[in-house]
Amino acid sequence: MSLYARIAQKIERNLAEAAAKAKTQGELDFGELPSFVLEEPRERQHGDLATNLGMVLAKQAKRSPREVAEILIRHLETDNTWIESSEIAGPGFINFRLNPRWLSAVIPEVLREGQAYGRVNLGQGKKVQVEFVSANPTGLLHMGNARGAALGDSLASLLQMAGYEVSREFYINDAGNQIHNFALSLEARYLQLLGQDAPIPEGGYHGEDLLDTVQGLMDRDGDKYLNMDAGLRQEFLVRYALAEKMGQIRETLKDFGVEYDVWFSEQSLHDSGFVRSTMEDMEKKGYIYEKEGALWLKSTLFGDEKDEVVVRSNGIPTYFAADIAYHRNKFERGFDQVINIWGADHHGHVARMKGAMAALGIDPDRLQIILMQLVRLIQNGEVVRMSKRSGQYITLRELMDEVGKDAARFTFILRDPDSAVEFDLDLAKSQSADNPVYYIQYAHARLCSILRQAGDTEAEAEIPAERELELLLDSQEERALLKKMADFPDEISLAARLLEPHRLARYVLDLAGLFHTFYNSHRVLVEEEGLRRARLALIRSTRQVIANVLGILGVSAPERM
RNA sequence: GCGCUCGUGGCUCAGCUGGAUAGAGCGUCUGACUACGAAUCAGAAGGUCGGGGGUUCGAAUCCCUCCGAGCGCACCA
C-alpha cells in the first residue's frame, strides 16, 4: 500500500468513528453505516481528499447533507492524519487539505526500494497462469498476435509486481483438423516445387511462407518424399514444418521481449488419453449425451446458447474437447487463477468453457478470459482483411522491423483491449517519432543525462533527510511529481485487480509529463548545495519509477537516444 | 433473426466499477532554447459523451429502448 493510501485509510477510519460518535451523542440518527468513498477529487481546488459521507448519510439521518457534514467534521479526529483543513463544499462533500509535508517520505521510500518500488502484496503468492498468443503453428505471427503478446506479457509482469506467482504459457495447436489441412497444403507446396500441378486444397493455407518452409526441407532431403505413400509423406512434412514454425514463433516472440515458462502441446493431451478420460468423467457426471452419433456436452446448463459437440460421430474429439482437457489440466497443475487472452472472435466460447469447468467441479470464476478486439489493418486508406488461410497479413516480424519493438508494444498496451484499434501501417512508419513511447523514453534519457552531468559520485550520494526534503521541494511542480510517484503502488494494485495493464501506460505517460513540466520550470544543478542534493534525489526517484513501469511494459528505458 | 462487445472534440484514445466545471495526444493557432537534452514546455480554440426514456442528492459510467459498427451463432479451430 502506498503512503497516500495509508493516510487515506486512517482518515476513512476516523470518519467512521466520527459518525459513530455523533450517533451515540444523539446528533445523528442512522442504522448501519452506509458505504462511502474517500477519494482524491479531480479538481485541485477541492483539496487532496474528499468524502461523500455527508451525502450518503443524509437520507437516513433526515438532515441535509451539508448539516451532516458539519456534524461529522466536528467529531472528526485529525491528529496524525496530516489533515490541515476540512471544509464543506458543493452538495455536501467534505474536502480535506493535507499538509504537503507528507510527501517528503516518498523519495526515501522510492530510493530504498529501487526496482522493487511499486511492489504490492495483492496476490499473496497465489499462483496465476497467463496463457496468451497461442497462435496456430501453421503460419507466421501477425498483428493480432502482436497485440496479444504485448498485452499478455505486460499483464503477467504486472501480476508479478502485484505479488502473484506467475507462469506464462503458450498452447500449441498441433493437433486436429487444421493440422491435417496444414499437411495437405505442405504437400501441395512440396509437389509444386517439384514441378507438379498440385493445387492447395480447400481450407488449406495459402501463405507464401510455406514455400520457404518446404524449400528448407527440400534443401535438406531433396525429393525423397516424392514417391512415398501420401500419408507418410504428409507426416514427414508436418513434423518438419511444425518444428520449423514453432522455432520461428519462439524466436519472434523472444525478439518482441516475450519469454514463456511453458510451451504446451495439444497433441500431448490426446497421446496421454487425457482428452478421452476427461470426456468420460463428464459423462459419468451426466453432462454428456449422445445424439446423431456424436457426443454432446450439456453446456446450456451453464449458460451457453446451445449444447456443443465434444466427440464427432466419426469418433474424433473436437477442438473443444481438447480445450476442456487442457483447462482442466491447468487447474490440476495447481494454479489458483487462470487467465486466457483470446481474440474477440472467440467470445462465443467463453460461456461454454466456463460451463465445462463448472461441469468438472472447478469454480468457473477461477478462469478469467480477457477478450481482445481485433486489430484492423489499414493500408493505402483501406481496411486489409487479414487471414492466415489466405496468407494476407502483416507479420509481427515486419511490424518490429518497421516501427520497432518499443513503439509497437507501447501502441498496443496503451489501449484498452476492448477497443478495436485501427493500425495504419503507413502512418505508423511515417510518424514513428510521434509515438508517445518516445515521450517517456525521452524523459528517462533526460533524467539520466542530468545524473551524468551531476557526476556519478554525487548521484549516488546518500538520501537527504526527510526534513530537508520537505523544506526544499516545495514548489507545485515538485509536489505534483512526488504525489504521482507516491501513487505508484496503488496504480499497481488497481491495474492488477482489474487486469488492465493499459493503466500503467497511462500512468507513466502522466509521470513523464509531470517531469517535463518540472524540468522546464526548475533547474536541478543549482549552486546551493542542499537544494541541489534534494532535487538530484527527486531526479533519481523519478528515473527509478519510470524505469520500473517501462520494465513491466517490456519497453526499454534508454540512457541516451 | 438471436447473442456478445463497442459508439466520448476534426483524428486516435483515457475516464480510477455513480461524484463536483468530461481529460490527454495528434492536427490547428500563439508564445519559450547565450544554464542540466526543444523528441520538451506554457497558452488558445475545439464536446447535445450515438438518440430517447428511467433509476437518485448526482449518470459518459447502472437499467430499458431505438440507431449505427465489429464479432460470433459448424460433428472448423
Q: What is the ipTM of this complex?
A: 0.94
Q: Determine the pLDDT at residue A505.
A: 94
Task: Pick left, alpha or beta for residue A114 (phi over 0 → left; psi -120 to 50 → alpha; otherwise beta).
Answer: left
| φ, ψ dihedrals at A101, nearest 5° | -65, -20
Helix, strand or coil, per DSSP, at residue A311: strand
* Nucleotide at minimal C1' distance from the A345 CA: B71
Q: Which three cell numbers stand for residue A492?
A: 499497481
Q: Which nucleotide is nearest to A517 (CA to C1')?
A: B41
Distance CA A113 to C1' B59 in A:
41
Nearest to A488 by CA among A549, A401, A415, A412: A549
Task: Answer whether residue A313 shows pLDDT above 80.
Answer: yes
Distance, in Å, from the CA atom of A210 to the CA atom of A142, rounded to the nearest integer, reads 15
pLDDT value of position A416? 87
Q: Is the CB of A446 under 7 A from strand B?
A: yes
Q: How far is the CA of A401 from the C1' of B62 (A)?
A: 45
- Strand B: which of residues 92-121 in chain A lie with Cβ below 7 A? 92-93, 95
Interatomic distance A374 CA / B72 C1' (Å):
13
Higher pLDDT, A13 or A43: A13
Is the CB of residue A55 inside 7 Å of nucleic acid strand B? yes
The three grid cell numbers given for residue A287, joined into one nine-digit string: 453432462
Q: What is the mean pLDDT of residues A214-219?
A: 92
Query: What is the average pLDDT across A332-336?
Result: 96
The CA distance from A507 to A39, in Å, is 18
Sole residue written with cell 522491423 = A401
| Residue A58 confidence (pLDDT) | 82
Strand B nucleotides with an atom less than 7 Å from a protein beta carbon: 2-6, 12-17, 19-21, 23-27, 32, 35-42, 57-58, 70-77
User: Which residues, in sequence order, are bridge partners of residue A199?
Assistant: none
Residue A259 is placed in which grid cell? 519469454
DSSP state of A395: B
- Whether the beta carbon of A176 falls within 7 A of nucleic chain B: the reply is yes
Contact A497, A122 (CB under 8 A): yes
* pLDDT reading at A391 higher than 60: no
Q: Which residue is nearest to nucleotide B13 (CA to C1')?
A: A415
Instruction: Give the length of chain A.
Output: 561
β-sheet with A337-343: strand ranges across: A262-265, A165-172, A127-131, A337-343, A367-372
**Cell numbers that stand for A401 in this block:** 522491423
The answer to whether A318 CB sits below 7 Å from nucleic acid chain B is: yes
- On whether the pTM is more than 0.90, the answer is yes
As given in the structure block, the three cell numbers for residue A135 are 497462435
For residue A296, list its beta bridge partners.
A289, A309
Q: Within 7 Å: CB of A502 and strand B? A: yes
- What band does A381 get if pLDDT is binned at 50, 70 and 90? low
